Amino acid sequence: MKIPGIEQMNKSGAFLVTDWTKRENIYFDSTCFRGTMVSRNGYKHTRDIQQTKTGYMIVDDVFGDGDYCDFKFRSPCDVKIDSQGFLLLDKGEPICRVITNGSVKVNKAYRSLYYLKKDEINCVTVRESITDKKCKMKFIIELLG
């Protein structure tokens, strides 16, 4: 999750990171996770992940200033946008559906699994508005096949 124009932590020089985030209200067991990340730059992000019969449900609550939040999914899979969100495909076969009400866009990105080697992958960005300093986003992930 990213609020454009606001860094999660501050940087000093090429390698020094300052003002590290804090965590609050962490809970997890074998079927769920809930926790809050608090940035010293003025925002909080609470994520709730629940395992379902067909996959997972993720609910994000973001509190802070800004016009919108971007939620990014990076994947080596092919991506197909549809009316409910998007599908991830492997060799043309759907393996996962992500249902969301946010605005979905796909761009190219890179990953590095090995030193001095980079691979092109897809970056799915789901955008949602911040209203009254709050953004609520829900993702239903259905595993297919």
Residue 138 CA, distance from chain mean position: 11
Using pLDDT thresholds of 50, 70 and 90, give the confidence band for residue 143.
very high
| Residue 21 token pair | 């985030």
Distance from C-alpha of 63 to C-alpha of 131, rounded to nearest angstrom: 10
The pLDDT score that the predictor gives to residue 123 is: 97
Q: Which fold has domain 10-143?
A: Beta-galactosidase; Chain A, domain 5 (2.70.98)
Distance from C-alpha of 102 to C-alpha of 137, rounded to nearest angstrom: 7
Q: What is the pLDDT of residues 66-98, one digit of tens each?
A: 999 999 999 999 999 999 999 999 999 999 999
Using pLDDT thresholds of 50, 70 and 90, give the confidence band for residue 5.
confident
Average per-residue pLDDT in the chain? 95
Using DSSP's 3-state secondary structure scheme, residue 102 falls into coil
111: pLDDT strictly greater than 80: yes
The pLDDT score that the predictor gives to residue 105 is: 97
Q: Where are the domains of the chain?
A: 10-143
The DSSP secondary structure of 58-72, one letter per residue, reads EEEEEESSSSEEEEE
The pLDDT score that the predictor gives to residue 145 is: 76
Distance from C-alpha of 119 to C-alpha of 66, rounded to nearest angstrom: 32
Q: What is the pLDDT of residues 33-60, one digit of tens each?
A: 999 999 999 899 999 999 999 999 999 9
Distance from C-alpha of 140 to C-alpha of 15, rounded to nearest angstrom: 37
Q: Which of 64, 56, 54 is nearest to 21 (CA)?
A: 64
Question: Which residue matches tokens 């699994």?
Answer: 113
